[in-house]
Structure 1
Amino acid sequence: MTEALSRHILFLNWRDTRHPEGGGSEVYIERMAAEMVARGYRATILCQAYAGAAAEEVKPDGVQVVRRGGRHTVYLFAALVYLAGALGFGPLSGRRFGRPDVIVDVCNGLPFLSRVYARRPVIALVHHVHREQWRVIFGPVPARIGWWIESRLAVRVYRSCPYVTVSESSRAELVGLGVDAERITIIRNGTPAVLTSPVPRTDHPSLLVLGRLVPHKRVELALRATVLLARELPTIELVIAGQGWWEAPLRELTADLGIEHRVRFAGFVTEADKHELLGRSWVALTPSIKEGWGLTIVEAAAHGTPSVAFRSAGGVSEAILDGHTGTLVDDELDFLRAVRRLLRDDERRTEMGRAGRVYARGFTWEASGDAFAGLVSDRLAGVPQGQRVP
């Protein structure tokens, strides 16, 4: 604790959890920042601005948040804010924020490239590699450019930096891009505390999709499964909790499929509402094309709710113990069959629920914070406070 006092960690992340499109990766960053504050560090998150959000604030847990720029310009503002602080003005130079001693550069597809301009120790944090997402979200040319930045340029820029990632699968992908294996530390997500008392399951078959509404989450698969399952489960309901720019196409598909009466778009939900949905649902669905870990899967498990996800989707293959806490599938037909089996087999769901609760208890934010603090301490070792690194 003594060593950490007044040491300042700057997290560069494109969003925070209050952003309309914030998700599990933002939860991870904010929890790590809070864990660092709890251990005596000062922590600032620099992320993009959005309507209704304060430009600067200090959260109840002591984490300081600076919001600048938009979806793409936040990367430029990160450099400008840092450089302004280095020259003695700007939000990171005042008494409230202070200049950083170490930077955690979060690469959500695009890196901040802080190693180019910052003369401070840098830790690169990658939840997962975005090879598949580039092609899903962008056209051919932007996708090629983005993938080149992520897979070639970033690897070169951070070639002397330690990496943090959240799963073995993400670590393997980084190694495949050329990152030295010994520079990569796996620090998994913790399991958020259950905020509600136990609630009864719905009296009808119920499915839940929880997360951002963007194309690569493939919520369409859940909609199509609902149509087919309704033929033998006429009271089935699908709840889609979350928001994002892909909501309109999803609503259009829901109407085209004629299942508006079976699908509820819950929009943004509070933590308490989220936990109630997780506890009441029979099965949670994660049809995403790629996840670094699968935080919502373990959250569901903490409520005794099994999940169905795709084996090829990165870290979900570790968030689920296949056949014990949920089911991993290989294609859309397999997805439909697995969901059907769980909805129709009460005993299997119950067994998976019990195993899931035990598994979820094995992941704590405190343990993750200890590991992260150890990495930060190692990175700062031998660098006197305020001294620049070449």
Structure 2
Amino acid sequence: MNIRVLMLSWEYPPHSVGGLAKHVEELSEALVAKELEIHVLSVGSPDGSRMEKRNGVFVYRIEPYNISAPNFLSWVHQLNFRMVEEAIKLFKQYKTYDLLHAHDWLVGYAGRVLKHAYVTPLVATIHATEAGRNQGLHNDDQRYINSIEWWLTYESWKVIACSEHMRREVKGLFGLPDDKIQVIPNGVDWKKFKAGLYNISFGDGKIIFFVGRLVREKGVQVLLDAAPAILAREPAARFVIAGTGPMEDQLKYQARLMGLEHKVEFLGYIDDATKGALYQQASVAVFPSLYEPFGIVALEAMAAGVPVVVSDTGGMGEIVTHGVNGLKAYPGNAESLAYNILHALQNEVLRQELKKNGKRLIEEVYSWDKIAERTIQVYRQVRDEYLQSPWYKENNVAPGDRPEPGEQEQNYTAPERYSLVERRAGSFSRPERRNWQ
């Protein structure tokens, strides 16, 4: 399928903050394997390459302006200005992109500007929501981010959610119609977790392994609360926690306060080789999230052949079938978490069954090859609808012959203006819905 896509993402390896970077990278590479032309515009570093071709993907890296940003939201604004600036050069060089694909609210401004400037349909993947992360909206910054999330979904032709949980969440939060949302899960490259691939030793004893951002919603504090009950039955067990985040010092203090510093090891950030080795040596991988739109780490653990224990929440609860390919604990319940971890550690027959079924699930449902196919179906649908839409026809745009911004100024009519607050409150007269919006 001859189609060129410009992806917008605020992170892309090696610049990685969370799971989004890995998702965009592996999805892009899987789409390239299906003969799509994928260009990714993302954040770089001053000493890094501005453009490179990584495994067939054209990656363009930019740095926000060298202006001191007073807060994160201001930094995001600067990032979007720089993305638009760089994208103008890319559109001038390549003449056209068939689709724009924006990942999360952090690139929402750039996605919206490029959509209208170049009359190009926009697809958005919502990986998580501000309301979900914080279990509500409690201050002006959170409400502002929520409004940008709504704006991005409103401007997008299709919205991709990574789980049924996320589909329900974005539908409820943003009032999206069912036919605008497409559920496509995250995937995992199981070949990166084959047995014997890594030769790093982490000592003796049963390893209870967690990897992820150290933030409240990942639930590491619950795992520490469960540790005494686990150690009472498995005194040789060790807890290995990998990742960084704003709760790191608080979690270390909690471990010291509980007298667990000799049993809990905080590794900080780890590379893929170290993570792969830990998966292979772990006795159980534990992900006690309080909020989890999907949970790609659970797929990685399954691919590596490690029994998984997760909280029965969000997308994580959809991946794991209790007692079949993993075990599920009640969210935020240390007693339930300890019980399930001990069950996974002490029942060898169950352990082997969980390993076997977990690997089968990865191969049959969560391979990137299958996920790329489903993404291409969305791209094809959007492209076909766009070519038949009044938006395309009114702008008289032929593929490969799109106008530069400003060429059609004489024919331009400004749209009716209204604020996000008015739009959300429904205090304006809703225009007749057009099938290209």
Q: TM-score, normalised by structure 1?
A: 0.85
Structure 2 unaligned blocks of 5 or more = 393-398, 404-435
Out of 5, 11, 19, the position equivalent to 1:24 is: 19
Q: How does 1:1-390 map to 2 (within 5 A)?
A: 1=1, 3-4=2-3, 7=4, 9-21=5-17, 23-50=18-45, 53-69=48-64, 72=73, 73-82=75-84, 85-86=87-88, 90=89, 92-93=90-91, 95=93, 100-107=97-104, 111-112=108-109, 114-119=111-116, 120-134=120-134, 140-150=139-149, 152-158=150-156, 161-177=157-173, 178-195=175-192, 198=195, 204-312=205-313, 314-331=314-331, 332=333, 333-362=335-364, 363-381=366-384, 382=387, 384-387=399-402
In 2, Cα distance between the equivalents of 1:148 and 1:50?
A: 29
Deviation at 1:162, TM superposition (A): 0.8
Partner amino acid for 1:11?
M
Q: What is the number of equivalent residue pairs in this alignment? A: 375
Please tell me whether the aligned partners of residues 84 and 113 of structure 2 are also in contact (alpha carbons under 8 angstroms): no
SS state at 2:182 partner:
strand
In 2, Cα distance between the equivalents of 1:322 and 1:122?
A: 38
Deviation at 1:104, TM superposition (A): 0.7
Name the Cα RMSD after superposition.
Answer: 3.0
Deviation at 1:371, TM superposition (A): 1.7
Please tell me whether the aligned partners of residues 68 and 74 of structure 1 are also in contact (alpha carbons under 8 angstroms): no
Deviations 1:112-142 (A, max 9, x none): 4622553311001112334231359x96332
Please tell me whether the aligned partners of residues 298 and 320 of structure 1 are also in contact (alpha carbons under 8 angstroms): no
Please tell me whether the aligned partners of residues 16 and 30 of structure 1 are also in contact (alpha carbons under 8 angstroms): yes
Deviations 1:50-76 (A, max 9, x none): 576444433243331323328543444
Structure 1 unaligned blocks of 5 or more = none
The 1:94–1:262 alpha-carbon spacing in structure 2 relative to 1, beyond 3 Å, is: farther
Deviation at 1:191, TM superposition (A): 2.3
Please tell me whether the aligned partners of residues 7 and 102 of structure 2 are also in contact (alpha carbons under 8 angstroms): yes
Deviation at 1:275, TM superposition (A): 1.9
The 1:36–1:304 alpha-carbon spacing in structure 2 relative to 1, beyond 3 Å, is: closer
In 2, Cα distance between the equivalents of 1:370 and 1:307?
A: 28
Deviation at 1:238, TM superposition (A): 0.8
Q: Which moved more, 1:198-207 or 1:31-40?
A: 198-207
Deviation at 1:207, TM superposition (A): 0.7
The 1:300–1:196 alpha-carbon spacing in structure 2 relative to 1, beyond 3 Å, is: closer
Q: State the 4+ residue runs in structure 1 displaced beyond 6 angstroms.
A: none
The 1:359–1:26 alpha-carbon spacing in structure 2 relative to 1, beyond 3 Å, is: same
Partner amino acid for 1:30?
E
Please tell me whether the aligned partners of residues 24 and 295 of structure 1 are also in contact (alpha carbons under 8 angstroms): yes
The 1:349–1:130 alpha-carbon spacing in structure 2 relative to 1, beyond 3 Å, is: farther
